[in-house]
Amino acid sequence: MDTKEFNVSLIIPFNGEHDGLLQIVSSISHWLYKPSEIIIVNTEIKPCSNLMLELKKFIDNKAITLKLFEKPGVFPGEARNIAIHQCSHQLIAFLDSKTIPTKIWLSESLKKIQMSSLDIIWGSTSYEANTFLEKAIKYSTYGSHPLKTLPGSLIKKEVFFKVGFFLESIRAGEDGDWMSRTLLHKIKSSDSKENLLYQNLLGSSIASIAKKWFRNYYVSARLPHLKTQKDIYFYFISALLILIAYNWNNLSYDASISGWNLDSIFYIPNVTTISLRVILGLYFVFRCILFPIFKGVTTKETIYKLPAIILISVILDLIKSVAFFMGRFHNFVIRFHIKS
């Protein structure tokens, strides 16, 4: 099928990632299929006065319409919604300003969506990491397998009128929330075979990634699609087991000796220490070894970076649990205040 028969609107939210945005736009001339329309929504507090002129230097094709909207301070969900309402075409592609596509990503998705009854071709994103620390962060979080993402996706505009638009009141997670809603509405979709390259890990530190994790999981308390509860359950059950272990030997209490009966079948020496070691052992095996391997990291790389993976995993898991509890508490306070 000739993809030239179809027009595509490309949406790119933008918030200060100047170099990344220019890198994407400058690469469009090399794409096998080019969008008919590019809509960029700048959410940076300080508008970029010369941005339009810079972008137009790379758009030498008069068949491409370039639109720029200045919306300082809005969140990504609202930025995308603004762009969707401004789209002139019924097929909408999405990129982020730090996601670098291949030259055939759009043409391949377009062929796939038009030769089938599909409504969505999901993006596929690999995370770039070069230094030891960047790789350790990647292995502890995203892994090596490409992930299904909104950036890189090609979506029929009509889907938004079935599923609804992106949440506008949250800073992060609105894309995952929207993707989960497509499952509830049984929207037909498939995954792209062309991977985008995500560059946001470059130059990351433990402090910067921890800050991002706190922000994301703080707002996740309001998002039903995120499975943060499973982490909370692990910590709750672990604390409960420690509490039980601490009191376990009371089952062997003998009033005649005013203490534990060491010959009782219920008496377990050092039960609290044993329980704590078992819980920590299971955590390190599953979270720090099996988790990266399951996500595509080689066993050799996992073992080589194991100390760093352990450190990063523990820090991030504690941060996201604290953030989730704080988010839940904040929501409770708000609801209580509204009711009162």
The CATH class of the 3-203 domain is alpha beta
For 65, phi and psi rounded to 5 degrees? -90, 130
Residue 329 confidence (pLDDT): 77
Gap between the terminal Cα atoms of the chain: 61
Residue 234 confidence (pLDDT): 62
Residue 132 confidence (pLDDT): 94
Share above pLDDT 90 across residues of the chain, in percent, rounded to a whole number: 46
Q: Is the dihedral of CA 41, 42, 47, 49 positive or negative?
A: negative
Residue 165 confidence (pLDDT): 96
Residue 231 confidence (pLDDT): 61
Residue 226 confidence (pLDDT): 53
The two three-digit tokens of residue 292, written as one number: 């990266």
Three-state secondary-structure class, residue 109: helix
Would you list the domain boundaries of the chain? 3-203, 228-339
CA–CA separation, 60 and 40 (whole Å): 17
How far lies 328's CA from each of 176, 215, 277, 311, 333, in Å? 19, 13, 30, 26, 9
Work out the angle at residue 116's Cα, subtended by the Cα atoms of residues 186 and 187, and round it to the nearest 5 degrees.
10
Between β-strands 91-94 and 8-14, what pairing exists: parallel, antiparallel or unpaired? parallel
The tens digit of pLDDT for each residue in 216-231 reads: 777 766 665 555 555 6
- Residues 213/317, Cβ–Cβ less than 8 Å: no
Residue 212 confidence (pLDDT): 87
The two three-digit tokens of residue 160, written as one number: 């938004």
The two three-digit tokens of residue 228, written as one number: 């943060």
CA–CA separation, 141 and 212 (whole Å): 12
Residue 191 confidence (pLDDT): 93
Distance from the Cα of residue 108 to its chain's centroid: 24
| Secondary structure letter of residue 101 according to DSSP | P
Residues lower than pLDDT 70 in the chain: 1-5, 47-49, 60-62, 220-238, 331, 336, 339-340
**Those residues with Cβ within 8 angstroms of residue 67's Cβ, 6 or more apart along the chain or in another chain:** 37, 38, 39, 40, 86
